[in-house]
Structure 1
Amino acid sequence: MRRILAVRHDRFPLRTPFRIARGVKTAADVVTVTIEESGVQGWGEGVPYPRYGETIEGAIAEIEGVRGLIEGGGTRADLAAAMRAGAARNAVDCALWDLEARLAKTSVAALAGVAPVGALASAITIGIDTPAAMVAAARAAATVPLLKIKVDRAGAAEQIAAVRAVAPAPRLIVDPNESWRVEDLADRLAMLRAHRVDLLEQPVPAGEDPGLGALAGAIPICADEALHTRADLDRLAGRYSHVNVKLDKTGGLTEALALAAEAKARGFGVMVGCMVCSSLGIAPAMLVAGDAAFVDLDGPLWLAQDRPRGARDDGGILKAPEPGFWGTPACA
């Protein structure tokens, strides 16, 4: 039976503004794709990101451009050849995975040959705010396994110190979102070590990272904006110790699984992250995150209201969406 593809823009207001060095978000704007075949429907979600030149309108146009391919029975391999890596392809790729699993009455984990993930430790993120607000947020999350804080260039040392003072126990990721320069990092190494920072995520602009090679080994550094697909790994070697795999960058679960496997084979540590999104964006990412060194999938926790039956947080442990939500049969 012929497939039917549908695409729409969904908006999820946030429970509180989410601030990073690049700006502030008050809502998660996502593209939702559904693909129906033989009365069975699969779905997926992508988050267009302005940093990569993406918009909701542009993503929808990209998806409309492959309507004939998908409705004509195109595969995920066909999709990868027809679309660039990014949020639009992510939404379609994940919808195809979900549809395939539902039609076969099995799980995406089984189809992909990976272990199902029911729960995992995932970072709780603290956005940039006043010192008092960041301290309050850190105090509330002081017992979670992994904490991540967003910082800017000017106030980073104070922000890190304030959070660490009230949350000394969790492992700590610090994310400047490209707002530092290489010399800033060199000057702050002692401070980062003193506060036991476990991972520094994309401290400098992606195009200015050759200088990180001189600091290799000084502190674990993770590529985020500098990494999209496997094609980037050669360039990152010697500059970064870890890479952040996000499905909205890789263009879906298909490339994310391949990227994570190749990164590990090359000696990179793997982090699995997300945009601010709903649980529909998190469910497939959890399949990549099962054995990751760091997991940062708390996007839905920022929403005032998530999609029904989505992921839940329990003290820094992220629990997968309910069976039947995405990628699993309802009777699982």
Structure 2
Amino acid sequence: MTRTRLTAEATTFALAQPFAIARGTREAIELVTVSIEREGVTGWGEGAPSARYGQDARTVLAAIEAVRPRVESGIDRAQLLAAMPPGSARNAIDCALWDLEAKLAGQPEGPLATPLPTVLPSAVTVGIAGPAAMAARAREVAAQGSAHAVLKVKLDARDIAARLRAVREAAPEARIIVDANESWDRRTLEAALPVLVETDVRLLEQPLPAGEDALLAGLSSPVPLACDESAHVAADVARLAPYYDYVTIKLDKSGGLTAALELADAAQAAGMGLMTGCMLCSSLSVAAAWPIAARSSFIDLDGPLWLARDRAGGAVLGADGLHAPAGLNWAGSRYGSPASDTRGGQP
């Protein structure tokens, strides 16, 4: 019988600059890397633990260790969905299995079989700060992205108008997404709508806390709304579709590419649009999310851009958008021009 070996480890990645959102500020992150080796071939996956969901590197490693016997006995991705709940631990294993399967087969199958776009128009985050500092960050990003710039503006319930107007003045041509990270209530949202329209915001993510989505009933928003923290798996769509126009898909929420694809299919079947997002992460996470991003109207995969040092061969932001992390060779790197070697190497 062919032996399968799973390895998992946590690594601390420093950020190039502090990352501030409504829930707090971070200067470093811990990522969990999973490798699954079989027949001399290794598949790689990454989980980005989130305190918002009660996770840290220790709990994610423990969850992975608990299913190690089943993974090493040959569990497949469908069985993994039943064996583990959604979250970073399952994400790391699921994505490693996708990578391993593609490499063993010699070419990707299913949603990875068709060459994916080499460049996608990812948003770059403008973290919470004073209006002047946010304007400076917006100006910096817009200069990098030229006419293709997309800004994801993080806001809490304070100084919404001043911050947004400062960002718009600094980047008059940019597409703007606003992410409130659950920090508003219905009254704050209604009061903010005029300035969202004034500053031409294209999408508003998760204004209200998860679990309070029904408070959006009867709201006529001129700005499309996306559910993020409220949406994890396909079963959530029926509950959320009456209140939101888009669903934000993150592999760490869904628990891997397998469940994320199911969520994408369910959302589109319900008439919802797609946004692909990520946690603060390395380009290994971005490589696995790229197939969902290729289907999405809005994309936010700038997690690796916040790292002081990404994995070698990772994603790069250019004037034309975010360039895929083809150098990582994840699942054969089906980004227009597959890499020549699909059998080895650590991301």
TM bracket, shorter-chain basis: over 0.9
Q: Given that residues 197 and 222 in structure 2 are in contact (C-alpha distance below 8 angstroms), is that contact kept between their aligned partners in structure 1?
A: no
Q: Is the 8 A contact 2:119 2:320 kept in 1?
A: no
- The one-letter amino acid paired with 2:168 is R
Distance of 2:17 and 2:215 partners within structure 1:
36
Does residue 105 of structure 2 align to residue 104 of structure 1?
A: yes
- Counterpart CA distance in 1 for 2:88 and 2:174 is 31
Q: Is the CA contact 2:314–2:328 (under 8 Å) kept in the aligned structure 1? A: no
Alignment of 1:180-329 (within 5 A): 180-315=184-319, 317-323=321-327, 325-328=329-332
Calculate the TM-score normalised by the size of structure 1: 0.96
Q: Distance in 2 between matches of 1:322 and 1:113?
A: 15
Tell me if the contact between 1:324 and 1:331 (Cα under 8 Å) persists in the aligned partners: no
Q: Deviation digits for residues 156-211 of structure 1, max 9, x if unmatched? A: 21111110011111111001111110111111111110111100010110122212
Q: Report the counterpart of residue 339 of structure 2 in structure 1.
A: 330
Is the alpha carbon distance of 1:246 and 1:303 closer, same or farther for their aligned partners in structure 2, counting shifts above 3 Å? same
Deviation at 1:115, TM superposition (A): 4.4
Cα deviations across residues 132-152 of structure 1 (Å, max 9, x unaligned)?
Answer: 221111111223431111011
2:330 alignment partner, SS class: coil
The corresponding residue for 2:4 is 3
Amino acid at match of 2:330: W
Deviation digits for residues 102-141 of structure 1 (CA, Å, limit 9, x no counterpart): 1111136x56455423111100111112322211111112
Report the residue type matching 1:60 in the other structure.
L
Corresponding residue SS for 2:204: strand
Give the CA deviation at 1:255: 0.9
Provide the rounded CA distance (Å) in 2 between the counterparts of 1:111 and 1:238: 28
SS at match of 2:74: coil
* Residue identity opposite 1:91 in structure 2: A
Show structure 1 runs of 4+ deviating over 6 A.
none
How big is the shift at 1:291? 2.3
Q: Alpha-carbon deviations, 1:236-279, whole Å to 9, x = none?
A: 02211110000000100011112112211110010000000000
CA distance in 1, matches of 2:195, 2:225: 15
- Compute the displacement of 1:325 (Å): 2.5
The residue aligned with 1:53 is 54
Structure 2: gaps spanning 5 or more residues? 333-337, 342-347
Query: Deviation digits for residues 274-311 of structure 1, max 9, x if unmatched?
Result: 00000000001011111211000000000000001111
For residues 130-145 of structure 1, what are the structure 2 equivalents within 5 Å? 130-142=130-142, 143=146, 144-145=148-149
Alpha-carbon RMSD across the aligned residues, in angstroms, is 1.5
On the 8 A contact 1:310/1:325 being kept in 2, the answer is: no
Cα pair distance change 1:150/1:293, threshold 3 Å: same
Point out the more displaced range, 206-215 or 73-82.
Answer: 206-215
Calculate percent identity across the aligned residue pairs: 49
Contact 1:101 1:327 in 2 (8 A): yes
Q: How many residues align?
A: 331
Q: 1:239 to 1:38 in 2, by over 3 A?
A: same
CA distance in 2, matches of 1:52, 1:157: 30
Maintained 8 Å contact 1:146/1:316? no
**Residue 146 and residue 316 in structure 1: after superposition, are their counterparts in 2 closer, same or farther (change >3 A)?**
farther
Q: 1:216 to 1:267 in 2, by over 3 A?
A: farther
Q: Please, what TM-score do these two structures have when normalized by structure 2?
A: 0.92
Asked if 1 retains the 8 angstrom alpha-carbon contact of 2:89 and 2:255, the reply is yes
The answer on 1:31 being equivalent to 2:35 is no
Gaps of 5+ in 1: none
For residue 43 of structure 1, what is the aligned residue in structure 2? 44
